[in-house]
Amino acid sequence: MYWKKSSHEQIKETIFEALAENMDYRGDRPILGIPGTYLDPTEFYPDAPFLKDAPFMSALVSNPNHIGVHTLSEESVLEVFKGTQKIESELIQLVSEQIFKGEKGKQDGYVATGGTEANIQAIWMFRNHFRSEFKLRTEEIALVYSEDSHYSMPKAANLLDLSSIILKVDSANRQILPDDLLGKIEKAKSQGYKAFIIVANLSTTMFGSVDDLNFLGDFFTKNGHPFRIHVDAAYGGFIYPFTNPNSVYTFNNPYVSSIAADGHKMLQTPYGTGLFLCRKGLISYVKTKEASYIPGKDYTLSGSRSGANAISIWMILNIHGSEGWKYKMETLCDRTERICKHLSQIGISYYRNPYLNIIAIKSSQISPNLANKYYLVADTYERHPNWYKIVVMPHVKPGTIDQFLSDLEMENKSTHN
């Protein structure tokens, strides 16, 4: 995993060169057929002085459309926006090959609106794969995920008319219970299910827990029915590979078919900057042939997409470089570890994956008032919560951590006196 750090000037030069390669709606080119234009100039000033030093904002105002998937071929690049669409293609290559260790040129992907879209995109793709290649009916395909998984899984099942098999986890280590997996898959097979779409979590939203990918892959291989594994790395995708050098959540692992990741969490990019990545040859199953007016057709759930979002991810990764980003993520984990050590010292039980910056504290260990004071997130707001979580993000200051730990220690002492 290595890519060079770029200077602000280098990044600015690259982005402005890409924008110059795009056709400008305000230029002299006779653009008559594109159903788009520049942003409304009564509110968005194209000649604002600061734009010359603001490549992301300039891209927003320029308003390039990144519809389609630009890793497939040159035909998938819309001539009008070919400059910035190449930036997105480079971004997909960087993330899939450098961060997730894929072979050169062996992955496709695009910048989605977020992890939810990327997860649905993967499940849609695999459903169509099983229907096309194995001639299965939708009712013969099941979606498998743990009870700690993100709500986008039941959303996908609802949209795609798939049945869900929801697996129980151990309350202490948050790992899928083998007996529950075995029992539910055997029951599913007896009910006529013949293929399985499995979601493996590279950090659940609430706990930061990481599913045992190889355990799942080995189990379904022995099971004998067709399966595909999608990795939901919406949260962990831009931290876990940098803090755990032995991560198996890569395209080097034959069990991994697709990955979802979010830029707007750890990368601090704007909302609407998720990533969908998959192995070559799979995305064709969601080709929208009816989109005949788009060069290369469309393969995405969202269709038209802002090119500025892709540019924001590319900029962040390149301004830090791989070593800079590794240092930043390790710093967050160090802060998280400091909190955990203090929690242990004062007798507070918690769950934490050592490679992530999420700490889940049992609700019995902290009052709702204190949790609300520090905006801790509960596992449910429909009943009394079982857990509250802390997420150590870049905005979390050491002073805030110290004050929280002091308040928690005082509360804990008063409870036991």
Instruction: Tell me, yes or no, whether 222 and 144 share the same domain.
Output: yes
Query: Is the confidence at residue 321, as pLDDT, over 90?
Result: yes
Is residue 256 a part of any domain in this protein?
Answer: yes
Instruction: Tell me, yes or no, whether 400 and 348 share the same domain.
Output: yes
Query: Is the confidence at residue 64, as pLDDT, over 90?
Result: yes
pLDDT at residue 297 in the model: 82
- The count of C-alpha atoms lying within 13 angstroms of the C-alpha of 129, restricted to the half-sphere facing its C-beta, is 21
Query: Is the confidence at residue 75, as pLDDT, over 70?
Result: no
> Which residue in 212, 234, 263 sits closest to 151, CA to CA?
234
19-28, 145-154, 214-223, range with the lowest pLDDT:
19-28
Is residue 185 a part of any domain in this protein?
Answer: yes
Total domains present in the chain = 2
Instruction: Tell me, yes or no, whether 269 and 326 share the same domain.
Output: no
Is residue 97 a part of any domain in this protein?
Answer: no
Mean pLDDT of 218-242: 97
Instruction: Tell me, yes or no, whether 357 and 247 share the same domain.
Output: no
Instruction: Tell me, yes or no, whether 280 and 373 share the same domain.
Output: no
Instruction: Tell me, yes or no, whether 257 and 163 share the same domain.
Output: yes
Instruction: Tell me, yes or no, whether 229 and 341 share the same domain.
Output: no
Query: Is the confidence at residue 275, as pLDDT, over 80?
Result: yes
> Which residue in 164, 127, 124, 120 sits closest to 143, CA to CA?
164
**End position of a domain, from candidates 258, 284, 310:** 284
| pTM of the predicted protein model | 0.96
Burial group, residue 129, by CB count within 10 angstroms (0-12, 13-18, 19+):
buried
Is residue 353 a part of any domain in this protein?
Answer: yes
Query: Is the confidence at residue 331, as pLDDT, over 70?
Result: yes
Is residue 21 a part of any domain in this protein?
Answer: no
| CATH code where residue 361 lies | 3.90.1150.10
Instruction: Tell me, yes or no, whether 207 and 356 share the same domain.
Output: no
Q: Using 50, 70 and 90 to split pLDDT, how confident is the model at 416?
A: low
Is residue 54 a part of any domain in this protein?
Answer: no
Do 59 and 83 meet the contact criterion of CB atoms below 8 Å apart? no
Query: Is the confidence at residue 11, as pLDDT, over 70?
Result: yes
pLDDT tens by residue, 108-141: 999 999 999 999 999 999 999 999 999 999 999 9
pLDDT at residue 25 in the model: 83
Is residue 18 a part of any domain in this protein?
Answer: no
Rg of the chain, C-alpha, whole Å: 23
Instruction: Tell me, yes or no, whether 170 and 219 share the same domain.
Output: yes
Do 304 and 67 meet the contact criterion of CB atoms below 8 Å apart? yes
**Which range of residues forms the domain containing residue 213?**
104-284
| CATH code where residue 235 lies | 3.40.640.10
Mean pLDDT of the chain: 94
How are beta strands 141-146 and 350-351 bridged, if at all?
unpaired
Mean pLDDT of 398-411: 95
Instruction: Tell me, yes or no, whether 268 and 345 share the same domain.
Output: no
Is residue 206 a part of any domain in this protein?
Answer: yes
For the chain, how many residues are written? 417
